[in-house]
Each structure stands twice: as C-alpha cells, then as structure tokens.
A = this chain, B = another copy of it.
Amino acid sequence: MRISELAEQSGVTVATIKYYLREGLLPPGSKVSERQADYGDLHVARLGLLRVLREVGAVPVADLKDIVDAVQNETLSVHQMFGATYDALARSSEAVSQHDRTLASQVVQRAGWTHVRPDTPALDQLAGLLSVLSDVGWPLDLQNAATYLELVNAIAAYEVSRLTAADLHADRNAVVQQMVVGQVVFGQLLLSLRRLAHEHHSALKFNEDLPAANSTTSPR
C-alpha cells in the first residue's frame, strides 16, 4: 500500500511515518519507483506498536529506538525484548539516595523476586517512592510488609500467566504491544478497581449509618 493508505490504516499521520522512517523506527518500504514505496502488514504492525508505546506507555520518542532494536533483532529472546521495554516504561530521571536504594533492594529480596535485574530502573523508581513515604511520615515497615508483598506478587503472577505465549515467535511487535497494554492500562484498571474497593471497605468501616452486622466482611 502507499504511504497515505498506511497512514489511514494505522491512524498515524504521514508526517510522523516519515519521521519514523528517517529515525529507523520503521523499516523502509519496497521501492516501486523513484518516488514511491510499497508498505505492508509489517509496517502496520510496527506502527501499532509505536502508537501504543507513545500513547499508552507515554514512552519518550528518544527511548523508542531501544525497544524497536530489540523487537527487530530476532536473535534476542522475548525475555530480552521485554527487558528493553520494562526499562523504557520505568525510566525515571530523579536521583535516589543510597539508603533508599538499599531499602528498595531489601523489599525485592523479602518479596522473593530473585529474577529482578540488580540494575533495573524499576528499582530506582521504587526507591524514589519509599523516599516520598518517609517524607510524609509514613515509612514502609519492612517487617509488616509481607502480606502486602504477597498480594502484589499474586496479582503480577496472575497477569503474567495471562500473557499468551502462543504467538510469541510469530509477531514480536504484537507481543511487546500486548505487554505495554498489560503494564499500563491494566495498571490503571488495577488502581481504578482498588479505588472502588476502598470505597466499599471504608463504608463498612466508617459509615456509622450501617448496621454493625454488615462489617463481617471486613479485613484481617
């Protein structure tokens, strides 16, 4: 198809497609004439991925290249491809102290997440949040965090188990796209559901208008 059709089918403007071509984020089409190239399904798939990375994952343009390189390099495993994507999603510019970084490592250790890479940006992100919690006078109590970590672990394990391995070697664009949606949109879904559950449980706990018998479903 022509570039104009590609734009229409992918929902990405011609100007942006040309930018992606220049930056090597999209492979060139096959030349039909001096001034025209032909694009196919691979280009549609790649643009779908780039759109999700930009719009859903809010990945900065500068970080797209790492992910695309990992997607294009078929000698890299799915695991390595996901690693590049995790990093782009978790990248944070804030500096964290050594103390908070140590605490973050202890949290990961206590949770039993032995396969987290020691240099993953997600660890710095966690360290930053632990520092905010200290600042607001609510430091994380590592001794009492076990229940919480177990629940988070169960959620994440469940989510990863739902990633279908079926087409893992078929379309690498689609696999990464699925992962970003899982990470970001399901993350928002999780927070939204949690908010509703809070409303329910705080009504049970704090609404003096409810008969006390109703609070039998309350936690612990």
Contact = CB atoms under 8 A, between A and B. Distances in A.
Smallest CB-CB A-B distances: 9 pairs: A156-B197, A157-B219, A115-B203, A113-B200, A79-B207, A160-B201, A161-B219, A79-B206, A78-B206
Contacts of A113: 196-197, 199-200
8 contacts: A123-B196, A133-B181, A136-B185, A152-B155, A157-B197, A158-B219, A158-B220, A163-B202
B114 A200 contact: yes
Interface in A194-220: 194-210, 217-220
A159 B115 contact: no
B181 A138 contact: yes
B155 A189 contact: no
Interface string A144-160: 00011101111111111
Main secondary structure of the interface of A (DSSP, over half): helix
A178 B196 CA distance: 18
Contacts of A190: 152, 190-191, 194
